[in-house]
Structures are given as structure tokens and as C-alpha cells.
A and B are shown apart, each in its own frame.
Chain A
Amino acid sequence: MPAVPVRPTVTLPAEEIAISAENLRHTYDRRHFALDGVGFTVRRGEVFGLLGRNGAGKSTLIKAMTTLIQPTSGTLRVLGMDPARDGQQIRQRIGVVQQAESFDFTTVEGNLNIYGVLWGLPKSERVRRREQLLSRFDLTEIRRRRAFDISGGQKRRVQVAREFMHDMEILFLDEPTVGLDVIMRRTLLDSIRAEVRRGLTVVFTTHNLEEADYLCDRVAVIDEGHILLLDEVENLKRLYGGKKTIDITVGGKDPAPFFARLPEALGGGSSVRTNASSAVILTDDPKQALATIVELSRSLGVQIEWLNVRTNTLEDVFLRSVRHREGENGAA
């Protein structure tokens, strides 16, 4: 694992900073910290990804940035303002798509309409945006159906579309693509990209690392309330520069001895993660590693069912950073 995973924050002019957090801590029960010393800066006009497992602290961080909770300690500034003091001014300039469903008991278009009224849009503008969003998010056919009667993916589309009824400077998206099919997911991501080109800043949490790879300028990997990695996506992938990942699945006889001997056979230039019948190997020398794997499988009578050599993805970066931390905690 490369050292210094969190790239030090570059000092930016204040007008270029959308969000800054310093040593942010938050506890719900005064014993465990959902956020434990989090610090980062989000630049204006960038897509900032928050990656992490369930319960890692992503949603708590979103709630703090959207003024729904007040952090226990630390410094947080959103658009240069203090959420504890200037909550309402901040909220007038941001948009939030919550992770949980949120609807009014009315039709799809009714939900968009009401939201337009809540945000103070004049009627003509409200109608114009509503029609545009119904079309962009493929909701025209279900516009008169009640929001609670539509499918999960359709609900998600309504929730995201609704947020675009008003103008904003920062959009917080808490796992917005959950339940969306591939086409709609890409439509949504492209819509966000288009808004970013117009100057919108986006804070985006997701489990889907391909999405983060596609959309985010920078990502922070968060786990147990700590930021483990923070950098541009390409830089994070380069942390493993020159290395390749080999995925292998075996069958036949009991594969346990094969996996037990594999790390030693590959030597120190490779790291191996295994489960019952498969392994993921990170190696400096894929050619040599492949030869070793084939030789070992022959000698132990193990059948190789799947073998794949690939470059590293953000998922590899994420998994390794989280597992590295688990290893550190285990060692401690």
C-alpha cells in the first residue's frame, strides 16, 4: 500500500472553495464517532465523490454539510458560511437528493409542481421546468401516476428530477442511482455532467465505483469516520502504477492448499486476497505470476476455471485502502 494516501489540501483562494471541513467530528451517542477528524476541501465546479461502505460516515457528512445536523466539533464552511449560524442562507443555495425516498402524496407532476412552489418559482417558469424535467428524466408517461405507486427506479428519477426544479450552487446527491437501470443511470450522470459544465458543484456519494470513476473529479474514501484516501481519480489509480490485477477462480479438488501456497509461490512482489474459490492478485510482474499460478495449479491438480488480467480500477483502490485500514486496526 503506498504511503500518504491523502494528498494535502492545496491552498485555494476563498472564492474557489465551495466547502471546507477541518477536523470534523460527530457522535450520535457520545461514545462512537460517525465522523472522526474529517478534513477536506471541495472546489467550486468540481464533482467530489464520497466513497465508503454502509455506515462509513458518508450520510452523516452529507447531513452536516446540508445543515441537517450540527457536527459535535471541528470547522465546516459551506459557500463560505457556517452551517450552525447561516443554515437557512446555505440551504437557499444548495440542492439535496436524500438517500431515502421522499415524496408528497400526489402525482409525479404534482410533486414537481409543489417543489417549484416551495422554491418560489413563478408559475410560467415552474411549468417550463416541469415539462423539461419530465421529458429529460423520461417521466412523461407516468406524470399523472401517484409517486407512491411507481417503481423504485421511477421514484428515484422523480426525486432527482424534482431537485432540478430550482437553481443551486451545490448539489448533494446521496446515492442517487440506486435502483436505476443502466440507461437511466447514464442519463442521470450525463445530466449532472452537463450541469457541472454550467458551473454546478456536486458532492456525490455512491457504492458504485464505476460511477465515481465516470463522474468524479476527485474522490475521498471514507471508512469508520476517517478519510483514508483523497485525490483525483487518476492519481488514485496511479498509486498502483505499473501493477496489474489478476482475478482467478478455481474448481476441481479442494482448492484450499492451492490458495494457502499461492502467496509464497508468487513471492513478495504480489499481494493476494482469497475467498473460498477465487483470488484477486495485485502484482508487479503479471507474466511471471501467471506462469507460477499455472504451475502451482498443475502440481496440486486444481482446475483453473477463470483467469483475467486487468489494469487497476477505482474499486481496487477502494478495497485495498479499506482492507489496509482493517489490517492496521487488527495489528493494533
Chain B
Amino acid sequence: MALPNLLRLIYRNIIVNTDPGSLVILVGLPGMYLVFFGFGFQSLAGGSASGTSYLSFLTPGIMAFQVVMAGTVGGSMLWADRRWGMLAQLLSGPFTRLEYLLGIMLTSMAFGLGGSLVMLGVAFVLIGSIPTHAFALAVIFGTIVVGSIFFGAMMLLLAALVKSNTAYNSIQILLIFVVNFASTVFYPLSSRLPLVLRVLFEVNPLTYVADAVRGGYTGSLDLTDGYQLVVLLVETTIVLAFAVRAYLRSDLSYE
């Protein structure tokens, strides 16, 4: 029996994006963050000899960071498909624009979930324990799904608006850098931070993703996490609406 259109597109998106180079960037880079930053900062912070306490803090952060990497997959797919003619080719085939868009978003989500599971596996090797409570896992992976949609939509918006390869890559790298380091992925939000940085942390959706995942991971979920998740959902809806609008208005190729 033939697969439905959407699953065929997701299959294609995953196959095209799982070459060794892409996998190193998608999983290897966050994995290296976890190992090098985990042990490196732990030794600076003077924690326990095994470094597990900072690793326990960093692991959910790096799992959250996977949503940004997943977002870059989505944006890059649209950009590359426009640049290399596959968008027009696919849309002159049996697919609709909506199916193509959903295919990208679901692929981003799959990469977000897959990447965070890999990080969880790496953490298990390094720390020796991971959360197993069903509610905690539901919060963690539910947040990863919403975060993947947010960053997938953000990168789609970028891919729909930017035509130059150099500009697209530069903006994407800048966004990853700012979003990553102006969040609670690597360190907690401190009241001693300069006001501007604190505001940047607090408006950054990755902070909400990291806090909710960390809450689920450490079993310390509270009302603030619930409030942050609601804000994340609203932000995701808004960014997704802009992304869909830009995508539908964009040219099929850069000819």
C-alpha cells in the first residue's frame, strides 16, 4: 500500500537531511557541547569530581537546544528546495503547498525529538540516570515538539524572505548564536545579569523551552513553567502564522 503524500514527503526530507555531514552538525555539535561544556564548566564551578551536577543542569538545556537545530533543518530544507529547484519540482508533482509545509514542520519535529532522545542517551551514559516518570517525559517531549514548531517556523520565515545564500547562512548562524547563549540552556537566569541581557533572556522562547524541559527533567515543575509554556504556545502560533504567510507568498525558486 502506498504511503500518504505527507509521509512520503517526510521520508524524503529525512533521507535528504541524514547524510553524515548533516548528522554531525545536528547531533554531534550538541553532543560535544554536552561533553566539553559539561565537564569543562563543572571543573571551573568546582562541583563534584564526576561533574554530574552541572551535567544534570546542562543536559535538559542541550535537549532544549535541539529544537533550534531542528528549526535550522526546516529552514534549510525550504531554502535549499527553492534554490535547487526541488520546490517547483515537488509542487508540479502530486503534492500541495500545504502538504509540503507540513512535511517540513513534521520533519523538524522529528529531528527535534530524535536529537533530544540522543542527548538523553548521552546523558545516561555520562550521568547514569534519566527521568522515567510519564508526566515528566510528556512535559519534556511536548515542549520539544512545540519548540521545534516555533524554531521551524522562524527559520521557514527566514528562508522564505532571504534569497542570498550568504545572507541566509549568516543570519541563521547569528540567530543560533544569540538564541542559544541568551537563554538558560547553559546557565540559569541570574538577577545579577545586566538588565538588557535579562530582558533578552526572558523574551527568548528557548529560555521557556529550556526551563520547561529542565523542570520535567529534574522533577521541579511549577506554575511558572506552565505560564511559560502558554507564552511559548502563543509565540509559536504568531510566528507560524507569519511563516505560512511568507511561504505562500514566496516564489517557487530563485530564478
Contacts and interface: CB of A to CB of B under 8 A. Distances in A.
Given A106-B19, A120-B2, A122-B2, A91 B12 contact: no
Contact of A110 (B15, B85, B92): B15
A105 B255 contact: no
A70 B147 CA distance: 36
A194 interface: no
Contacts of B80: 105
Given A105-B80, A114-B16, 6 more contacts: A68-B92, A98-B89, A100-B85, A104-B12, A118-B95, A120-B3
B28 to A, nearest CB: 18
B16 to A, nearest CB: 5
5 contacts: A66-B92, A88-B96, A91-B94, A101-B84, A118-B9
A110 B14 CA distance: 13
In this complex, the member of B2, B80, B93 whose beta carbon has the largest number of chain A beta carbons within 10 angstroms is B93
B90 interface: yes
Interface string B63-81: 0000000000000000010
In this complex, the member of A67, A106, A118 whose beta carbon has the largest number of chain B beta carbons within 10 angstroms is A118
A119 to B, nearest CB: 7
Contacts of B255: 100
A87 B253 CA distance: 19
B78 to A, nearest CB: 14
B234 interface: no
A304 B220 CA distance: 96
Contacts of B12: 104, 114, 117-118
Interface of A: 66-68, 87-88, 91-92, 94, 96, 98, 100-106, 110, 114, 117-122, 172
Interface string B1-25: 0110000110110011001000000
Given A105-B16, A117-B8, A120-B8, A100 B253 contact: yes
B15 A114 contact: yes
B86 interface: yes
A101 B80 CA distance: 12
Given A110-B15, A118-B8, A120-B3, A103 B84 contact: yes
B137 interface: no
Interface of B: 2-3, 8-9, 11-12, 15-16, 19, 80, 84-86, 88-96, 252-253, 255
Given A68-B92, A88-B96, A106 B16 contact: yes
A183 B15 CA distance: 34
A68 B3 contact: no
A88 B91 contact: no
B76 to A, nearest CB: 10
A105 B84 CA distance: 9
Contact of A118 (B84, B88, B93): B93
Contacts of B89: 96, 98, 102
A90 to B, nearest CB: 10
A58 to B, nearest CB: 14
A96 to B, nearest CB: 4
Contact of A92 (B3, B88, B94): B94
B92 A98 contact: yes
A67 to B, nearest CB: 7
A114 B14 CA distance: 11
Given A110-B15, A114-B15, A118-B8, A100 B88 contact: yes
B86 to A, nearest CB: 5
Nearest to B4: A120
Given A68-B252, A118-B9, A122-B2, A103 B92 contact: no
A87 B91 CA distance: 10
A219 B90 CA distance: 28
Contacts of B11: 117
Contacts of B94: 88, 91-92, 118-120
In this complex, the member of A87, A92, A105 whose beta carbon has the largest number of chain B beta carbons within 10 angstroms is A105
A101 B9 contact: no
B15 A91 contact: no
Contacts of A121: 2
Contacts of A105: 16, 19, 80, 84
Given A100-B253, A117-B11, A68 B88 contact: yes
Contacts of B16: 104-106, 114
B85 A91 contact: no
